[in-house]
Chain A
């Protein structure tokens, strides 16, 4: 490990007592606690941290914050790896490992740059132009581009980290913990309001941590610490450092990402999550989001060693890291003079300040001059030199209001060029919230203008850049927000914190610095460093007609990528505006969208991963099924046994065994998941009449009836059996998947259309465990468990129900059947489900009792031609299409009836349910396969229908299928062809009932 060559001996907010080691691009370096990866790299004199995406020119650290376009790194390796971390926001920890992105084979020696491989391929609009050509050409390019470009790599294993999500409500959310945000939180917090203060940095203070301002006569960093401590002591204030509010949605709903343990590295999280997603509902929001410095656009402005002036100041002041040894400042405003003075104080030689303004007259320029720093006014940087690191710049005099340069170029050797083109308020969240921005010509920036939600911008984020203004505006915003939610401070009146500041003159003109002798093209003037978009690209796009800002963005990729153009957008807009003879107010700006900075997928997923990715609903018998080898099928959120696999069996074998047992002796099935709705009231029968297709008033107590439920469009929505439990009491069953929907449907009609009906409904699905016994021995086994009910077919016929005691448990028995066999559905309170099931299994052993999965049940019902809603129906199928006219009453109105008479619903030639028998008895057709009349026909071949259900039937010794076929019932006995991969199969249309057509087994 080498000496930290650019580290200052003292000062800064780093802890020299806690040295840290880290590895960057395979080399080992040292840093200190309190460093970011970027500051530690600078302290070690590392200048090249990556490569440009198109031209693969070397790039260095450009900023000290979230806006960083260049220093984007791959953090850690393997499953822990994180793509596109901004080195300027990565807190250093011991053992950190990072590599550059965009470099192959390395940042120092880049293959693509050496060959100049990519630049001719990637003009503005490259993707659009290329896609106009044959796709084959794109494939050729893509292979090259994917290898050499593209930011970052995805992890190669499942994410080992834990992520958390939390919902929180507050009276006032303050975004940003700089001077304005701290003042706002103090003013709101002292009233007792529920306040959240979130800031993306590791400690509160914002830009106060970078300089040496004074507040209320004391060092600002002392004031910051005291303010943070006071906020921590307030019961209802929650301070969230390391938390980026990245999205502002409707109704003051905001999302924030807290990096809980990222700063500890991958090994030290323990029980804490790596990151936590805060979902915040705020009554009032204060956006104290600060500002981002913008770079001037000049030839060769991308070389390592060129960085934002405030960033250079931050590195020496906060991190005690010298970003260079000999600096030149290039600015159009007074702020950069602070950086010059601080750099000099940190023993960086300041060669000159180049100011585009002809006569800077402010206090700060005066101070710099009196400190003997050379001021080159009315000049601009027109060229830069140096291969992997800046070695010199050239400056020339500006003329023609900044439109051209003239005179001798003066060469100034330097390894740091600190640049400033003024400041842009960080208005991203304000814009996301729907607020309108306006272009402020004085500051040449977009500032919040009209809020769309209960939100207040304050401080630099509002275009109020001076410290005294930030404090006053933040304090006022906090007090006002608290007052608006009815929260008022008691006790002594408090005063806003104050500061004395050196006034600044307005910034100079903001535009592209012309290159001498190159009115167009020539040396690259970079606008968007991350996407390698140049001023020439913008001009090209404008010439080609992409003059709208949204088109420009997509055509050039300006403002895309991980930094979303935080340092590029306003410059790009200014160039486009100038080309169009207008200003930014005229061009407008692109839409700001969440997230403000990248958010990991892990944080968005939270704990909804793995076993918790969805709720799994389990019946009381679930764990018995598991032990019996059940494979499960998801039906909605329910886990239903699909088939029970015995050792040595495959699925087909298991299903065959189950189907044969049900027909020949005894099957047992867990039907708990069927929806059950308890209906009570004098108008219960009237409700059933209105929602079902058949009539209910004559159904006797003790009997059941099957019916269809239609949507108002006349299409089948659900089916099921309803039993009359008492005079005004019914129990409706629904399909498993539709249970919630049907209950909601009944409630909707009762609440909104028929409030006069005296009837209440309630779901009792979960109250009962339902066990179905079916097959020739069903009655015999059940009789062993019940003595108080005559199970004989006379006393207890098909479609009847009885209250009975089963195994000592008060139960309801329903003689209904979905398999076509003698069958009883036994409902017992859920707590007894497993016990009764186990008892049935033990006692049924002598009959060869066999648990049935859903697959066997589906085969058995298909043998009988029974439909499954959602399989034979798809929302376009009427009762008549299913051949179920017999269930549709013509004597009453019901939901959907009117639609059955609509022209389309009543037309001939609709698809109708039929059976299909394949010529090849062993062939099981794929469900969904299309039927055609003449497969030899020239395509397109019209379809006449499709297969809805298809199985091998062990009981019939052949395959069976159900299908919906145009005019199907008129085609009995006709042959059709089923379109299959590799040819067509012949099948004959037949009646859908394949087995026990008379139903003697059912009634037996």
Chain B
């Protein structure tokens, strides 16, 4: 295994941990309507296959404990891990704990005898947490999706455009709080955009 010092999160350059460590009372305008964080590293696995085939569903369920969601723009697995996010009728993003390196191998193994696609994408996307009273408004500033509580709620997920980056939006709870999956190369841009869009609500960074 590589030495730990070699590892870098997509937003490591921004020094977010140091910002998160500042006590809230030391930040000017402590009222923070928008809370941002870089989620810790997770295993992300690209999964493609035919959800209509029982063998495919069963194989995935055997590894994850649930079948890949067949309903468009929904996530399976609740608020915990692993999760499977519907991206398209034959495409999901499976998210597991970073320590759980076995899943990609297990999925490949379970699906070895059928036509499916399993690929490790753990480094391909940064995951940014967006929460707080202003979170929904911030999302609306860059995204044409209807994120009103009647139209999009906990457990919903979709690929869409946020500002000038393609993202996967996954609403975790009613609060609301969201996980935003963005391609690694866009991560610094998106973070800067989110901070700018959140300015009028006050932005706080958490670990």
The answer to whether A and B touch directly, with their CB atoms under 8 angstroms apart, is: yes
Residue B119 CB within 8 A of the other chain:
yes
Q: A618 to B188, Cβ gap below 8 A?
A: yes
Contact of A168 among B1, B8, B140 (CB under 8 A): B140
B148 within 8 A of partner (CB): yes
Q: How far is the CA of A167 from the CA of B183 in the complex (A)?
A: 23
Instruction: Give the contacts of B131-154 with A (CB-CB under 8 A).
Output: 137, 140-141, 143-146, 148, 150-151
Interface string of B174-197 (1 = CB under 8 A from A): 000000000111101110110011
Q: Nearest-CB distance from B130 to chain A (Å)? A: 15
**Chain A interface secondary structure, helix, strand, loop or mixed?**
mixed
Interface string of A748-771 (1 = CB under 8 A from B): 000000000010111111111000
Q: How far is the CB of B134 from chain A (nearest CB, A)?
A: 11
In the complex, how many angstroms separate the beta carbon of A48 from the nearest chain B beta carbon?
A: 40
Does B109 sit within 8 A of A, measured CB to CB? no
Give the complex CA separation of A608 and B197 in angstroms.
11
Would B200 and A279 count as touching, CB distance under 8 A?
no
Q: Are A807 and B2 in contact (CB under 8 A)?
A: yes
Q: Is B13 an interface residue (CB 8 A)?
A: yes
- B48 CB-CB contact with A under 8 Å: yes
Whether A612 lies near B192 (C-beta < 8 A) is: yes
A832→B2 contact, CB < 8 A? yes
CB of A607 within 8 A of CB of B150, answer no
Partner of B148, one of A164, A166, A169, A623: A169
**Taking the nearest CB of chain B, how far is it from the CB of A675, in angstroms?**
12
Q: In the complex, what's the smallest C-beta–C-beta distance from A256 to chain B, in angstroms? A: 14
Which residues 909-951 of A have a CB within 8 angstroms of B? none
Q: Are B117 and A612 touching (Cβ within 8 A)?
A: no
Q: How far is the CA of A808 from the CA of B2 in the complex (A)?
A: 5
Q: How large is the interface on B (under 10, 10 to 19, 20 to 34, 35 or more residues)?
A: 35 or more
User: A615 and B189 in contact (CB under 8 A), knowing A620-B8, A835-B7?
Assistant: yes
Interface: A616 (CB within 8 A): yes
A612 to B122, CA, bound (A): 26
Any A CB within 8 A of the CB of B163: yes
Asked if A614 and B119 make an inter-chain contact with CB atoms under 8 angstroms apart, the answer reads no
Do A167 and B140 touch (CB < 8 A)?
yes
**Which B residue's beta carbon lies closest to that of A168?**
B140
- Residues A607 and B122 in contact, CB atoms below 8 Å apart: no
B21 CB–A CB distance under 8 Å: no
Which of A616, A762, A808, A839 is in CB contact (< 8 Å) with B46?
A762
- Asked, given contacts A830-B124, A831-B8, A833-B8, whether A616 binds B188 with beta carbons under 8 Å apart, the answer is yes
A272:B140 contact, CB within 8 angstroms: no
The answer to whether A680 touches B117, judged by C-beta atoms less than 8 angstroms apart, is yes
A830 near B123: Cβ-Cβ < 8 Å: yes
CB proximity of B185 to chain A, nearest CB, Å: 4
Contact residues in A for B49 (Cβ distance below 8 Å): 760
Given contacts A619-B185, A762-B46, whether A612 and B193 have CB atoms under 8 Å apart is yes
Chain B residues whose C-beta falls within 8 Å of the C-beta of A273 in the assembled complex: 200
Scoring A166, A281, A637, A808 by chain B CB atoms within 10 A of each residue's CB, the highest score goes to A166
Q: How far is the CA of A782 from the CA of B6 in the complex (A)?
A: 17
Chain A residues, CB < 8 A from B164: 608, 614-615, 637
The one of B3, B13, B29, B124 in contact with A764, judged by C-beta atoms closer than 8 angstroms, is B124
Is B124 within 8 A of A767, CB to CB? yes
Whether A194 is near chain B, meaning CB under 8 Å from some CB there, is yes
Task: Specify which of A194, A619, A766, A832 is in contact with B6 (CB 8 Å cutoff).
Answer: A832
Q: Are the C-beta atoms of A830 and B141 separated by less than 8 Å?
A: no
Contact B7 A607 (CB under 8 A): no
Q: Establish whether residues B1 and A808, one from each chain, have CB atoms under 8 Å apart when the complex forms.
A: yes
A807 to B3 CA separation, bound complex (whole angstroms): 9
A165 to B196, CA, bound (A): 12
**Chain A residues closer than 8 Å to B183, beta-carbon distance:** 617, 766
Min C-beta distance of A768 to chain B, whole Å: 7
Structural contact, B165 and A165, CB atoms closer than 8 A = no
A682 CB within 8 Å of chain B: yes
B53 sits at the interface (CB 8 A): no
The residue in chain B whose Cβ has the minimal distance to the Cβ of A171 is: B150
A194 touches B148 (CB 8 A): yes
Of all chain A residues, which has the CB nearest B114?
A: A758
Closest A residue to B151 using CB positions:
A169
For residue B121, CB closer than 8 A to chain A, the reply is yes
Q: Does A681 contact B (CB under 8 A)?
A: yes
Question: Within 8 Å CB of B2, what residues of A?
Answer: 807-809, 832, 835
Give chain A nearest CB distance to B116 CB in angstroms.
7
Q: Which residues of B have CB within 8 Å of A833?
A: 8
CA A620 to CA B124, docked complex, whole Å:
11
Q: Which of B64-112 contact A (CB under 8 A)?
A: 90
| Contacts A607-B196, A831-B41, A832-B2; A167 near B48 (Cβ below 8 A) | no
> Among B7, B8, B48, B199, which residue has its beta carbon within 8 angstroms of that of A762?
B48
Residues in chain B near residue A834, CB distance under 8 A: 6, 8
Report the Cα distance A678→B116, complex, angstroms.
12
Q: Which residues of A contact B165 (CB under 8 A)?
A: 615
Best-surrounded residue of B115, B164, B184, B197 (most CB of chain A within 10 A)? B184
Whole-angstrom CA separation of A272 from B29 in the bound complex = 13
- Verify A766–B141 contact, CB threshold 8 A: no
Could you say which of A279, A608, A830 has the most chain B C-beta atoms within 10 Å of its C-beta? A830
Q: In the complex, how many angstroms separate the beta carbon of B117 from the nearest chain A beta carbon? A: 4
Give the shortest distance, in Å, between B158 (CB) and chain A (any CB): 15
Contact call B163/A615, Cβ cutoff below 8 A = yes
Q: Which of B29, B90, B124 is A766 in contact with, Cβ under 8 Å?
A: B124
Contacts of B144 in A (CB 8 A): 167, 279, 281
Contacts of A761 in B (CB 8 A): 117
Q: Which of A167, A678, A765 has the most CB of B within 10 A?
A: A167
* Interface contact A612-B115, CB-CB below 8 Å: no
Closest-CB distance, A277 to chain B (whole angstroms): 10
Does A362 sit at the interface, judged by CB under 8 A? no
CA–CA, A234 to B151, complex, Å? 19
> When each residue 340-372 of chain A gets 1 if its CB lies under 8 Å from chain B and 0 otherwise, what string results?
000000000000000000000000000000000
Chain B residues contacting A764 (CB-CB under 8 Å) are 119, 121, 124
A809 neighbours in B (Cβ, 8 Å)? 2, 6
B140 partner residues in chain A, CB cutoff 8 A: 166-168
Q: Which chain A residues lie closer than 8 Å to B41 at the CB level?
A: 831
Interface string of A596-630 (1 = CB under 8 A from B): 00000000000110011011111110110000000
| Given A615-B164, A808-B3: A768 touches B123 (CB 8 Å cut-off) | yes
Most chain A beta carbons < 10 A, residue from B123, B150, B163: B123
Do B200 and A831 touch across chains, with their CB atoms under 8 A apart?
A: no
Interchain CA distance A866-B151 in the complex, whole Å: 53
Asked if residues A620 and B184 are in contact (CB atoms below 8 Å), the reply is yes
How far, in whole Å, are A618 and B196 apart by their CA atoms in the complex?
Answer: 19
Bits for B1-23, please: 1 = Cβ < 8 Å to A, else 0: 11101111110010000000000
Q: Does A638 contact B (CB under 8 A)?
A: yes
Q: Give residues 882-930 of A contacting B (CB, 8 Å).
A: none
Which residues does chain B contribute within 8 Å of A607, judged by CB atoms? 141, 163, 193, 196-197
Residues from chain B with a CB closer than 8 A to the CB of A615 are 163-165, 186, 189-190
Q: With A and B bound together, what is the CA distance between A988 and B41 in angstroms?
A: 58
| Chain A residue, CB-CB nearest to B115 | A758
> Which of A164, A614, A618, A831 makes the CB contact (< 8 A) with B123?
A831
A selection of 9 A-B contacts at a CB cut-off of 8 Å is: A168-B140, A272-B200, A279-B144, A607-B196, A608-B164, A617-B189, A764-B121, A765-B124, A834-B8
With A167-B141, A830-B124 given, name 11 new contacts (CB 8 A): A166-B141, A608-B163, A614-B164, A620-B8, A620-B184, A638-B185, A760-B116, A766-B125, A809-B6, A831-B123, A835-B3
- The 9 residue pairs across chains A and B that have the minimum distance between CB atoms: A835-B6, A760-B117, A617-B185, A830-B123, A766-B124, A169-B146, A615-B164, A767-B124, A760-B48
